[in-house]
Amino acid sequence: MAIKRAQLKQQKQDALAARQPALSMPEGGEWITAARKDAAGRLDAMGLPIRRDEYWKYTRPDAFTSAEPVAAALTDDAGTQVFEGVDVLTVVFRDGAFDADASDDLALDGVEISRLADAAQADIHWAKDIYGALETAGQDPVERPLAALNTAYATDGLVIRATGAAAKPIHVVYERSSDTSDAVLHHVVKVEEGASVTLLETGAAGARANTVTEAAIADTAAFHHVRSQGRDQERQLVTHMFARLGTESTFKSFTLTPNGKMTRNECIMELTGDDAIAHVAGALMADGKDVHQDDTIFITHDAVNCESRQVFKKVLSNGATGVFQGKILVKQGAQKTDGYQISQSLLLDEDSQFLAKPELEIYADDVACSHGSTSGAIDEDALYYLRARGIPHRKAQDLMVLAFLAEAVDEIESEELREAILRRIRLWLDLEDDL
């Protein structure tokens, strides 16, 4: 055993040694340099994930740990138009670099927004208490080295502080023009007591991208997060969302993954104040044998009377793979916890696969937690019924795909955003708008 562990540790160190030469720590002020060095220290201690890691059992980390990204051909429709028509403040990063010309002024009622690259120049900044701090907390009990790597080496991102009700959503658009770009971006979101803000993200950020968002949500505050990850066939993307929730706060996150070669989305939420609500949902449309997508969720209940909810729907076709690892940890004393988790896949053929690992770990005695996972083919009776009314096979199937995904999309609180996502899915499926 001991030898095996030492071996694993060495392999992780080797993986890091292979990746490290391509990384360089950006210049910055005192606060961020300290945070980056801390993160580099954490990373040094952990190494990088390897295939034999239990936490990477269903997803190969290679795409994220190689020194250079695997080239990713550009596509015409990268899917950045998802929120068209929604009144937003737009911020554009192109291949990981801030695009001032394409971005709006970073001025919005109820919110202070700046670039991380600017905030990093200061010697002291409010983001100091969050940047790397939530990520550090999220390293226990499971290591997430790619997040530490991000904290240490991220070149830019947004630093958002909501002090009131944000006048409109902040929309981060990730464009890419390069087939070899390697983006590392880090966002910090602080939602003050009673404040609320919505963050939207679309696109692929880079041929390879590693993004981290740390969100500190104060008492009675609300943070909504809706993203569509870029319908970009070859991009490789690893994301981490770390959220810490205060008393009576709300956090709702929804992710649409419309293809992409490799995606790993980790969402780590800690409910630290009583009566908090945390919802995370995802809809995946994965088509093709090279498409692999992984949602890895870790929710820690550490307060009384909190609610958490996970709803994941994955449509898999032509040999695609979908992964769901979702864990609810209810700590001692987190009584009256209401934890719900469902992950479902719709397999459109026999070559595709869904791998699910739902987990509950409960140390309180007065809780209601449930989880379920299903995997199934399309309902043949329903398909026949639709076809008997003249709807062609493919369209009938697409209607059912939309219906299946809609159950995850419905988790989005804002009707406008929900409709925007549904409209886009319909468009991609070539279905008519609802009346």
Partner 1 sequence: MLEIKNLHVKLEDEDKQILKGLNLTVETGKVHAIMGPNGSGKSTLSYVLSGRDGYEVTDGSATMDGFDLLEAETEERAAEGLFLAFQYPVEIPGVSNMTFLRTALNAQRKARGEEEMSATDFLKMVREKAKSLKIDADMLKRPVNMGFSGGEKKRNEILQMAVLEPKMCILDETDSGLDVDAMKLVSDGVNALRDEGRSFLVITHYQRLLDHIVPDVVHIMADGRIIKTGGPELALEVEKNGYADLLAENA
Contact residues toward partner 1 (CB under 8 A) are 379-382, 384-393, 395-396, 399-400, 402-404, 406-407, 431-432, 434-435
Choice between 34 and 427, CB closer to partner 1:
427
Distance CA 19, CA 222 (A): 37
CA-closest candidate to residue 193, choices 216, 215, 218: 218
Distance CA 332, CA 345 (A): 33
Least Cβ distance, residue 377 to partner 1 (angstroms): 13
If residue 159 lies in a helix (H) or strand (E), which one and from where to where? strand 158-162
Starting at the earlier edge strand, list the strands of the sheet with 208-217.
107-108, 111-115, 158-162, 182-191, 208-217, 236-245, 262-271, 292-301, 321-330, 353-362
Q: Which two tokens stand for residue 170?
A: 């902040």
CA-closest candidate to residue 52, choices 4, 19, 17: 4
Give SS3 for 354. strand
Choice between 172 and 408, CB closer to partner 1:
408
Q: How many CB atoms lie within 10 A of CB 197?
A: 30
Peptide linkage before 141 cis (omega within 30 of 0): yes
Least Cβ distance, residue 382 to partner 1 (angstroms): 5
Choice between 369 and 391, CB closer to partner 1:
391
Least Cβ distance, residue 281 to partner 1 (angstroms): 15
CA-closest candidate to residue 275, choices 241, 311, 308, 242: 308
Least Cβ distance, residue 407 to partner 1 (angstroms): 7
Choice between 9 and 395, CB closer to partner 1:
395
Least Cβ distance, residue 60 to partner 1 (angstroms): 33
- Evaluate whether 82 touches 202 at the Cβ level (below 8 Å): yes
Choice between 195 and 285, CB closer to partner 1:
285
Least Cβ distance, residue 391 to partner 1 (angstroms): 5
> Sign of the C-alpha dihedral, residues 132, 135, 140, 146?
negative
Q: Which two tokens stand for residue 323?
A: 């992964």
Q: Which residues pair with 341 in a beta bridge?
A: 310, 371
Least Cβ distance, residue 284 to partner 1 (angstroms): 16
Least Cβ distance, residue 70 to partner 1 (angstroms): 37
Choice between 119 and 422, CB closer to partner 1:
422
Least Cβ distance, residue 408 to partner 1 (angstroms): 11
Choice between 301 and 313, CB closer to partner 1:
313
Choice between 154 and 422, CB closer to partner 1:
422
Least Cβ distance, residue 314 to partner 1 (angstroms): 15
- Evaluate whether 330 touches 367 at the Cβ level (below 8 Å): yes
Choice between 5 and 389, CB closer to partner 1:
389
Using alpha carbons, list the distances in angstroms from residue 204 to 15, 178, 262, 321.
25, 11, 11, 19
Choice between 208 and 424, CB closer to partner 1:
424
- Evaluate whether 334 touches 306 at the Cβ level (below 8 Å): yes
